[in-house]
Structure 1
Amino acid sequence: MVTDKTLEEVHEKYDDEKKEMDLEPYLTAANGKKRKSMDVLVQAFKFMRGHIMGVLKDTTFVEEVEDVQWVVTVPAIWSNTAKNRMREAALRAGLINNSIPDHLIIAFEPECGSVVARRYCDLKKGDKYILLDLGGGTADIACHKVLDETSVSQIYIPSGGAWGSTYIDEAFWGILCEIFGRETMEEFKIKYPNEFVLLKENFRQAKHSYDPASSDIPKIKIDIMVDFMDTHKIDLEAMGKKVKAYKLKGVKSTFEFDTNFATLNLGHGGWKFLMDIVIDPLITHMRKLLAQPQLRGCETMLCVGGLSTSPYVIQRLRDVFVTQLKVIKTITKPEQPVLAVMEGAARFGMTPSLITEYIMEHTYGLKCARFWAESDGEESKLWSEEEGRYVFEDGFEIFTRKNSKLNVHDPPKVQYFQPLNKGEKEIIIEIHRSIEEDPTQCTDRTLCALAPFRLPEDWWDGVGAEDKEIPIAFFFNRAEIQVKVELENYSEKDRYIKVEWLKGA
């Protein structure tokens, strides 16, 4: 029996739920070459800007890039750091003008998908639904309650994991490496990158069409590998023997290689083994979600994304949540689930308030000095000659609490602060977050971002300057946290402070 260590590694790597995900610093091309992810993103945005503007300039209402409302969708499990890098890449690519407020809206993919998907079922005010965005890299889940005909409210924090369909592709590649040798397959990948991409596309088409109820099992075309195998003295007959000898641990069915058409048949057992790599952890996570009190009464499941076109995926979901657990009554998807997120993003850009209320996953606040209290501990108190009493420099000034709901129509929360040191003009706001609802102390572990800005040149001029306060507005702008300095002599664009998120935040 051929061992499947590679497949076990895939199971281990993607079996755990990922709370937040950062962008990898480097991306690897099909030919094995690595490039900085930021450089790739910038070039991708430049290409899209050129292509889209070329199309839109033929219209009568778009002349410049500033005339376009841009919406970029991201997985719900992306960290603030990853979202910030997307915005930075769009800025570097000339896609957006930073002086235009909300010129770029960053939106969660499942939120956009739900805008389209909920039109395909009969939902009324008060109904709850759970939305699965089954994409390539991640599976993202949103839980909503219908407020009226157009808007909904989050009832649970968006979640998900690295359970996208590309990990099924990785596992299939692992099988090919075990059958024909990793060194041989890596050489094929590097020397024939176009053929490698075509092989992945052949597998993707077969993967999405696999139906466990059908006797017509989709076959994977691997004819593009034949010429390459010839150079390694592996002819069709030898390929067939290698395929037939391969066994998956715990799977009874064997693979078949059709030498006439150069196709690979994985059998029902092989397909289920591969698909379950991402479906099993997804279902485990969904069971936990639907057991939460906030989702009690949720009877509708909506599916979007490429993997939702798979009959096997939909059947697994029905077997568990409709037949076995009896918590879901309806599972549905749009006519074109692959395009649902893109269409939803366009609608979201025109009406961002479609998602009216958001739930905060953490408590956020700013570091500030305050009067010392006994609960702060003896070691933390500092004597202030100016105040004539002890102060505490690591106070956690809360702006929004964990599990609280923020309504997009509510004005930003504004609080007033004074510079710690008289005469300083370069101010650095420390943003902190905590899993506690009422944190009182900022630490190195709670620090998640820095927001630097400069006070006006005349700030310290005149009588009473030391008593002036800085109004700081802190608000959640759909998928992003933003900070503004509400000074009267600041222009609107200068009021927005660039937030520099720390890695992993």
Structure 2
Amino acid sequence: MFAPNWIAASAGAISLKTPTCLLLTPDGKFDKFGYEAEDKYADLALENQHTDYYFFRRFKMKLHRNPSLNRETQIEEEGGKTLPARTVFAHGINFLKDHALDKLRLQGTQCEDWEVRWVLTVPAIWSEAAKQFMREAAQKADLTNDQLTIALEPEAASVYCRTVPNAMGDNTFEPGSKYMVVDLGAQNRYFRKSETEGIQNQDKTETKANKQNTYNTVTLCSIGGTADITVHEVQENGALRELHKASGGAWGGTRVDSALEQLFIDIVEEDVWSKFKKRHGGDYFELFRDFEVKKRTVKMDDDKKLTNMKLPLSLKDLYEEMKPGEKFKDAVEDNEMYSGRLKLLGDKMRVDQQLMKGLFRDPIDKLTDHMRQILTLPCLRKKPSILLVGGFSESPIVQETIRENFPTCTVIVPNEAGLSVLKGAVLFGHRPKTIASRVLKYTYGIAVSKPFIEGHHPPEKRCESTYGAICRDVFHKYVEAGESVGLDESQSVSFTMAQGACMSRVRVYTSADRDPMFVTDEGCTLLGEVTISLDNPSMSTNKVNVGLTFGGTEVSLQANTSGRTFGANFDFLS
């Protein structure tokens, strides 16, 4: 299994991950991705030539925060311009696809596009609409549906951790054992160029060992900022059963970066910071690349230590240019919010350790509170192991806080925790049935009409039809929230199409409630439509059976009727 190194040329550093950054030309064509996108955008900004380019940063998180996601959704780049989100994601996926194929060919592995099984990873807490959005973006990047598998990130990490040796022994994953997978995204691991010899030697050994194998599964995985949590139990046959629905929030490493950014805004004010980002993009990126390294030095029990952060001279000069008569040093050291906690020495800002730890407080507090709620479940009375994966899990303060808050649980941080999702997704591509069952986050059902019952149904739902009085908008339940469903388990319902009709649409709804009565109840959301097209609507029977399968990483659809063939598709996007 091979993962490439990414070079941040301007910083003289090498990372096992690259940021989700995309640079497009003024006419919207692909230019650069990852560190190369950051570096070129910074160079363009120095010459004030960047304003017509499109620079998108951390755009994967845009899907998580958008409850009204649709095919026409636009996302905004750093300069305020917008482009269709599908176009932006397709550019990113297309780059990763071509980059992966190029790497394989350089290593002497000859393969055609059609020979590759592509695995695209997404957070488990994403909606069905967001998953479909990613699938359609992949199709726009010329990845066909039959080549593409969607993998849920904490599940992929779980598959990886069960495969590699762990320091706690094999009993962690023996049949009957339970463990919580906590996938914390968005923290890069950097190696200065002088430190990479061992890594390069390791890669050579791994490449040599894999020459005898066929590369037929490639994972496309970008950096996110979510905390994604699921709980698994190992079955007798080695498959995994999900015990609690996937859950989490935007509590990854990017929240710490946002807290640091707010600290600088508090010091220099919004106008200076905004101009600094636009005018001195290279310094801005280098500041946060340096901060990624500093994150790994913050520990719970080291209150006397000060963290030295190198500040760009351009920020000081810009502040004093925009605030005539004011000194940058005074702005740092005399700020009321951080009095006595910051000190400027030359080009270094010394940060009090309590303040540094405070940058982590919001995401870690939300994470531990959520984990504590999950651990109160009856099925987890015997405390499970906690598996920390993802780049942010490599932070010492994260590890120490989890161990301190959950002393009765065994906390495991595997080697290469930041690559657990990536490598696990490759394994998942070969063995997609490793996850035998999943727990549903929502109740799923369709809108139907039923005979109206006086005194039971509300009058406003009454509607007259050729069959008499009917009650409309009834929620016909397939499965309910919290229910465990098998991988290939399908739930179906039959309905009658109008005589002679050649097409019908069935509205599918979700609800957090276990037993909603109507699709118009509070909390019910239109998930999408099933569109059914009949080839021969003149035949006598018009009874259609629609089955939905909920146990996979995506909700899938089957439709059939006796003596007929027809096409059906499930659309989660408007």
What TM-score does the superposition give when structure 2 sets the normalisation length? 0.73
Matched, 1:476 2:553: no
Structure 1 unmatched runs, 5+: 1-19
Structure 1 match to 2:378: 293
Cα offset, 1:226, TM superposition: 5.5
Structure 2 match to 1:110: 154
Cα offset, 1:279, TM superposition: 1.0
Structure 2 match to 1:241: 330
Cα offset, 1:86, TM superposition: 1.2
Matched, 1:145 2:233: yes
Cα offset, 1:268, TM superposition: 0.9
Structure 1 match to 2:505: 428
SS class of match (2:548) = strand
- Contact kept in structure 2, 1:76 and 1:158, CA below 8 Å: yes
Matched, 1:408 2:504: no
Structure 2 match to 1:51: 99
Structure 2 unmatched runs, 5+: 1-63, 187-224
Deviations 1:416-466 (A, max 9, x none): 2221x32221211100122333334332753413325342332224xxx2x
Structure 2 match to 1:86: 134
**Identity of paired residues, percent?**
26
- Contact kept in structure 2, 1:81 and 1:501, CA below 8 Å: yes
Structure 2 distance, partners of 1:428, 1:26, is 27
Matched, 1:37 2:56: no
Structure 1 match to 2:427: 347
Matched, 1:338 2:418: yes
Matched, 1:499 2:574: no
Q: Aligned letter for 2:312?
A: D
> Cα–Cα, structure 1 residues 161 and 94, in superposed 2: closer, same or farther, change >3 Å?
same
SS class of match (2:282) = helix
Q: Which shifted more, 113-122 or 223-232?
A: 223-232
> Cα–Cα, structure 1 residues 347 and 489, in superposed 2: closer, same or farther, change >3 Å?
farther
Structure 1 distance, partners of 2:327, 2:387, is 46
Deviations 1:403-425 (A, max 9, x none): 21111143x23332221x32221
Matched, 1:280 2:365: yes
Structure 2 distance, partners of 1:430, 1:233, is 56
SS class of match (2:382) = coil
Deviations 1:361-403 (A, max 9, x none): 2211122233344433455344554x4x543343332221222
Aligned residues: 458
Structure 2 distance, partners of 1:238, 1:231, is 6
Structure 1 distance, partners of 2:102, 2:176, is 44
Structure 1 distance, partners of 2:150, 2:332, is 46
Structure 1 distance, partners of 2:567, 2:546, is 9
Structure 2 distance, partners of 1:156, 1:404, is 9
Q: Aligned letter for 2:123?
A: P
Structure 2 distance, partners of 1:381, 1:180, is 62
Alignment counterpart, residue 531 of structure 2, candidates 446, 449, 453: 453
Structure 2 distance, partners of 1:182, 1:230, is 11
Structure 1 match to 2:14: none
Structure 2 match to 1:368: 448
Q: Aligned letter for 1:356?
A: A
- Contact kept in structure 2, 1:31 and 1:189, CA below 8 Å: no
- Contact kept in structure 2, 1:255 and 1:266, CA below 8 Å: yes
- Contact kept in structure 2, 1:487 and 1:495, CA below 8 Å: no
Structure 2 distance, partners of 1:224, 1:133, is 37
1:203-352 alignment to 2 at 5 Å? 203-214=291-302, 217-223=306-312, 225=314, 228-229=317-318, 232=321, 238-248=327-337, 254-259=341-346, 262-322=347-407, 327-328=408-409, 330-352=410-432
RMSD of aligned C-alpha atoms?
2.9
Alignment counterpart, residue 22 of structure 1, candidates 31, 44, 66: 66
Structure 1 distance, partners of 2:518, 2:314, is 60
Deviations 1:60-112 (A, max 9, x none): 66312x322222222232222222211121112212x23x2xx3222221121
Cα offset, 1:239, TM superposition: 3.4
Cα offset, 1:484, TM superposition: 2.3
Deviations 1:207-233 (A, max 9, x none): 133234456544222235367548728
Alignment counterpart, residue 515 of structure 2, candidates 430, 435, 438: 438
> Cα–Cα, structure 1 residues 346 and 224, in superposed 2: closer, same or farther, change >3 Å?
farther
- Contact kept in structure 2, 1:472 and 1:485, CA below 8 Å: yes
What TM-score does the superposition give when structure 1 sets the normalisation length? 0.82
Structure 2 distance, partners of 1:379, 1:92, is 45
> Cα–Cα, structure 1 residues 277 and 253, in superposed 2: closer, same or farther, change >3 Å?
farther
Structure 1 distance, partners of 2:109, 2:390, is 33
> Cα–Cα, structure 1 residues 376 and 105, in superposed 2: closer, same or farther, change >3 Å?
farther
> Cα–Cα, structure 1 residues 185 and 368, in superposed 2: closer, same or farther, change >3 Å?
same
Cα offset, 1:308, TM superposition: 1.0
Q: Aligned letter for 1:268?
A: Q
Matched, 1:418 2:496: yes
Structure 2 distance, partners of 1:266, 1:485, is 62
Structure 1 distance, partners of 2:236, 2:340, is 51
- Contact kept in structure 2, 1:114 and 1:344, CA below 8 Å: yes
Structure 1 match to 2:111: 62
Q: Aligned letter for 2:506?
A: I
Structure 2 distance, partners of 1:26, 1:376, is 42
Structure 2 match to 1:16: none
Cα offset, 1:56, TM superposition: 3.9
> Cα–Cα, structure 1 residues 27 and 433, in superposed 2: closer, same or farther, change >3 Å?
closer
Q: Aligned letter for 1:397?
A: H
